[in-house]
Structure 1
Amino acid sequence: MRRTSSTVVVVAGEGADKVVSGLAGLHNVRALVSGDRTPAEVSRAIAGAGTTYVVHDADPLGEVRDAWVGFFDQAAPHGGLEVAIESALGGLAAERLLLPDYYVVLAPEGMSPTRRHWWLGVLAGAAPSRVVPADASVAAVSDALAHLAAGRWWPADLPGWLRGLPKVVPDRAGLGLTPGMGAGPAAV
């Protein structure tokens, strides 16, 4: 999986596009609002950015997130999560999708419980310092960018981790029970 020389940050949550747009004037930040761009176009723009930070709103795991939330909220068809996982793995392998270095999650306290568990349980459990909650404002995200902490990157066995997500129960996510992380049995 390719990594870029820039620090790549996905801003996620309600109003992410507006927050990303507001970051465009910051020094050494390339702000990309996905808009009508395909994931591959966003990945190419990220790869060619050449700035210290590339901040965007195109979550490469967005379909997996939505399918995981739908699966546990019993609002999605059977098999949808597995299809989303395999699609994401294909996109990552072909470099049409790029995992970010960080996620800045806007106002997680206002999200549905299952969606909040995705961000602060599943993703934060896989890479704790790589998921940063922030208020939904340009100032709060700018401050978060200035204080990003180093930490382990995403799981080395990304396919195993993603394929284990159907076994990660929302209120148990991030408790050391995430498949593929080597920290005990999966929550079922």
Structure 2
Amino acid sequence: MRRVSSRLSSTLVVVAGERAPRVIAGLEGLHNVRTVVRGDRTPAAVTEALTRSAAATYVVHDADPLAAVGDAWTGFFDGVEPVGGLEAAIETTLADLEAGRLVLPDYYIVLDPDELPPTRRHWWLGVLAGAAPARVVPAPASARAVAETLGRLASGRWWPSDLRAWLRELPRTVPDRAGTTAGGGVSA
């Protein structure tokens, strides 16, 4: 799987949450921060724009490459995702990652996770944080808080080296046990 870091020297950060576009817009003009708001573009179109962008210490955007998987996983465990929907989202995302149409960020900054519905919160702070604990960071939904968070990002293990196995295990990764060694899911 290609990593954006092989094409960009910047640290790639996805800001996730309802208020992400507003928060990202508030980061414009910060020294060494390039911002991209998804708008009507697909995550693949944003990825392409990022790979052609000028270097900055941080490139911050809201085009989550795992959004379809996160939505399907949440829907699967909330009982609203059609049969096979999660598996289809996983396979499509894997194909896009392998083709370089999508790239995993170095970090996710999750805005106001305590305000999220329980299963969605488990996606961010269980599934994703369980896979790469230092790579998923909660923050208040303000540009100032996110700017401060950027300055405190800690290094940690990257996403699982076997993304196929990790993503394909998600249908068996139970929400209230996601990210624990006892609750299903691939931890590394």
Q: Same fold (TM over 0.5)?
A: yes
* 2:100 is the alignment partner of 1:95: yes
Q: Structure 1: which 5+ runs fail to align?
A: 183-188
Determine the C-alpha separation between the residues in 1 that align with 2:60 and 2:161: 23
- What is the SS of the residue equivalent to 1:87? helix
Indicate if the aligned counterparts of 2:35 and 2:59 stay in contact, CA closer than 8 A: yes
- What is the SS of the residue equivalent to 1:54? strand
Determine the C-alpha separation between the residues in 1 that align with 2:186 and 2:122: 18
How much does 1:51 deviate?
A: 1.1
Indicate if the aligned counterparts of 2:179 and 2:187 stay in contact, CA closer than 8 A: no
How much does 1:81 deviate?
A: 0.2
Superposed CA RMSD in Å reads: 1.1
Determine the C-alpha separation between the residues in 1 that align with 2:131 and 2:184: 7
Residue 71 of structure 2 is aligned with which of 59, 63, 66? 66
Determine the C-alpha separation between the residues in 2 that align with 1:42 and 1:140: 24
Indicate if the aligned counterparts of 1:64 and 1:81 stay in contact, CA closer than 8 A: yes
Indicate if the aligned counterparts of 1:122 and 1:178 stay in contact, CA closer than 8 A: no
Residue 53 of structure 1 is aligned with which of 47, 58, 65? 58
Per-residue CA deviation, residues 131-182 of structure 1 (Å, 9 max, x unaligned), is: 0000000011001000000000000000100000000000000112453335
Letter in structure 2 aligned against 1:123: L
Letter in structure 1 aligned against 2:72: A
Letter in structure 2 aligned against 1:158: L
For residue 186 of structure 1, what is the aligned residue in structure 2? Answer: none
Residue 179 of structure 2 is aligned with which of 155, 158, 174? 174
Change (3 A) 1:53 1:178: farther
Residue 34 of structure 1 is aligned with which of 35, 38, 59? 38
Task: Tell me the TM-score normalised to structure 1 length.
Answer: 0.94
- What is the SS of the residue equivalent to 1:144? helix
How much does 1:44 deviate?
A: 1.6
Indicate if the aligned counterparts of 1:160 and 1:179 stay in contact, CA closer than 8 A: no
In the comparison of the two structures, how many residue pairs are matched?
182
For residue 3 of structure 1, what is the aligned residue in structure 2? Answer: 4
Determine the C-alpha separation between the residues in 1 that align with 2:89 and 2:104: 15
How much does 1:76 deviate?
A: 1.1
Determine the C-alpha separation between the residues in 2 that align with 1:40 and 1:58: 8
For residue 116 of structure 1, what is the aligned residue in structure 2? Answer: 121
* 2:148 is the alignment partner of 1:147: no
* 2:83 is the alignment partner of 1:82: no
* 2:133 is the alignment partner of 1:128: yes
Task: Tell me the TM-score normalised to structure 2 length.
Answer: 0.94
Letter in structure 2 aligned against 1:43: T
Letter in structure 2 aligned against 1:110: E
Letter in structure 2 aligned against 1:11: V
How much does 1:85 deviate?
A: 0.3
Q: Structure 2: which 5+ runs fail to align?
A: none
